[in-house]
Structure 1
């Protein structure tokens, strides 16, 4: 069964090392005659990966055992009738990860000592994540989104589930029954649950009741959104929006809202309308990073030298990495000597140095922007902004 691709699954892939690690990417199709061609192309990629593993000196018996889960997937006709736009497969001894992707990816089969993750980075980049809060007097909902997906966050034990419930618990002698445990976002993210106190119940106006209700929601969301820097978009009928803004304490609440009853909107509609609001924000951060690169390119704080960048990424120096999605640069990196060797063609023991730089940058809390070759600064396959 396909797994959900999210930040946590990417971290899992980043941490897994072994011999051999097989990474396979390919575009897939939802309908048409191409659907029948997808398993054939997948079979060819399996043969390519098998040959590469054998050429690297692995025994035929261990390669066959390694590829067994992929062979089962190849024979699963149901799987090929229910694809998305792309497919990613990762195989290692006792490991098998299978992801359907919402975007096309180029065909690629690589065998190395770790997984190749560069094609996945745009899909899970933290710089493209946001939240939607669907306001309701009966059923508030929170969603965690990216350009390609939207997952609902479980709020049942975190905030009051209705205005009526909020007012029922909003008494000095009562405590709400929200716990300091952990709630799970569908797709793997986790969020803390909290204790909150009852408050003043001496109110006669409905608007004030709603404000107190929204203040309780805001306090609960602090436990989820507290460490975040992602934009929050609120959705609701027009008269609720200014009341929530009065209650809000999250500094990254977007000025623009989704106006309308979210209970009557499908998740696809919410997702589409929220993305239209937050997309310029994400484009701005990328443009600002590219502009800063141009300002610092001759200062020693920026570089497009592959060898320098690979070594710097390993030593926690890369703050922002720009890398192209459509190239591989083969070579090796020795962390003991900090030596980087670049080869014109893939040689035994080589890995994609662009992917290595991306992995190390992510592991050291840097940002990675995967760009088209024509959008790369200095027309280089890689460029970086350094922390020091």
Structure 2
């Protein structure tokens, strides 16, 4: 079990993390949005220090390259400058540069203007084309697999949907958020026991004051509360996504015994999760869930090696492209930093 150790997180830190997020839905959206030409800009950015002053200068230089490429494609100079005006305005936007991540991606067309702060250092790159250049984002998504953190207590149930670089607390309809809400006013019986915690907020086993049916009833009510919460949560949770439980130690095995979610991990975060931000819970849970998420990737690589020479695995794009067109690819490995330009005609 990992121990919950709260860290200070400011509102600005939380906002910065959200701004750094790109989701699968964003990529699907960018693939379908109209408008030509489509401009893709990638640039590494400095997070802090005097080096951050180079960020707007780097963008300004890249915009010169975009202007040249647009003119080379046949666009009038004034039209190209007008198209890139929203991007150019970012150069002098001090508020925009106050929050930085490891890279910045900008997508622009006559109908689209999107900026994303990315949590990985990407090479500087500019492309003017009929499609947005999204390949650098595929690797980020492949490595940004989802997991849940379910923070449980008798007073609150919180579900955090997370990836390595994203965390969002979800509001799930129908979830009883407390024992009292689920089963009525049990304040009197709940106050009959106290849970002691150490100075490090690690929960000890509960100490019940009273004997017999009162204690047994309370235990049964806790199980019933967890059962009600679990049924409501499962209507919205993906059963293929791993779950890390967070809460005082005596509650975690009770919930694990109750839940019907098949991927609740044996190891959890023990301690008082109240007051911890989604980002803090994500970071603490990552040490537990990371080996689970990367295990699938390792198994896929091993399977690729095992299938070599059987006709069911290939590294030749002449075979991969038709298979992709026909929907016959189970797993695709994409090399970092490698570009192979062209288009595919199935005829």
Coarse TM-score class (shorter-chain normalised): 0.7 to 0.9
Residue in 2 that maps onto 1:307: 318
User: What is the match of residue 158 of structure 1?
Assistant: 174
Given that residues 168 and 278 in structure 2 are in contact (C-alpha distance below 8 angstroms), is that contact kept between their aligned partners in structure 1?
Answer: no
Query: Using the alignment, how far apart are the partners of 1:81 and 1:46 within structure 2?
Result: 20
Mapped to 1, the partners of 2:234 and 2:81 lie a distance apart of 50
Matching of residue 322 in structure 1 with residue 333 in structure 2: yes
Specify the alignment match of 1:381 in structure 2: none
Aligned match of 1:84:
101
The question of 1:115 aligning with 2:132 is answered yes
In the alignment, what sits opposite 2:86?
A: 69
Counterpart of 2:268 (choices 248, 257, 270) is: 257
Match of 2:157 in 1: 140
Q: Distance in 1 between matches of 2:65 and 2:339?
A: 17
Alpha-carbon offset, residue 313 of structure 1: 1.6
Q: Secondary structure, in 3 states, of the residue corresponding to 1:331? A: coil
Query: Is 1:332 aligned to residue 313 of structure 2?
Result: no
- Equivalent position SS for 2:331: strand
2:293 corresponds to 1:276: no
- Which of 1 and 2 has higher RCO (CA within 8 Å, sep 6+)? 2
Among 222, 225, 230, which residue is 1:210 paired with? 222
Structure 1, residues 52-90: CA drift from partner, whole Å, max 9, x if none?
222222333432232121011122122122212211101
Does the Cα contact within 8 Å between 2:152 and 2:247 map onto a contact in 1? yes
Name the CA shift for 1:315/1:56 in 2 (closer, same or farther; >3 Å). farther
Task: Provide Cα deviations, 1:166-216, integer angstroms capped at 9, x if missing partner.
Answer: 00399xxxxxxxxxxxxxxxxxxxxxxxxxxxxxxx996111111111011
Q: Which moved more, 1:249-258 or 1:313-322?
A: 313-322
In the alignment of these two chains, the number of paired residues is 303
- Give the aligned CA root-mean-square deviation in angstroms: 2.3
Aligned partner of residue 124 in structure 1, secondary structure: helix
* CA-CA distance at 1:264 after TM superposition: 5.0
> What's the secondary structure of 2:48's corresponding residue?
coil
TM-score (norm 1): 0.73
SS of equivalent to 1:224: coil
Relative to 1, partners in 2 of residues 1:327 and 1:118: Cα closer, same or farther, differing over 3 Å?
same
Q: Displacement, 1:101?
A: 1.5
- Checking the alignment, whether the CA contact within 8 Å between 1:134 and 1:262 is kept in structure 2 is yes
Which of these two proteins has the greater Rg computed from alpha carbons?
2
CA–CA separation in structure 2 for the residues paired with 1:296 and 1:253: 31
Select between 45-54 and 320-329 the one with higher mean Cα deviation.
45-54
Q: Does structure 2 conserve the Cα–Cα contact (< 8 Å) formed by 1:3 and 1:97?
A: no
Kept after mapping to 2: 8 A contact 1:3/1:98: no
Residue 34 of structure 2 contacts residue 111 of structure 2 at CA under 8 Å; is this kept in 1? no
1:49 equivalent in structure 2: 66
The structure that is strand-richer by fraction is: 1
Once the 2 structures are TM-superposed, how far is the Cα of residue 3 of structure 1 from its aligned partner? 7.8
Aligned position for 2:118: 101
Q: 1:244 Cα deviation (Å)?
A: 0.4
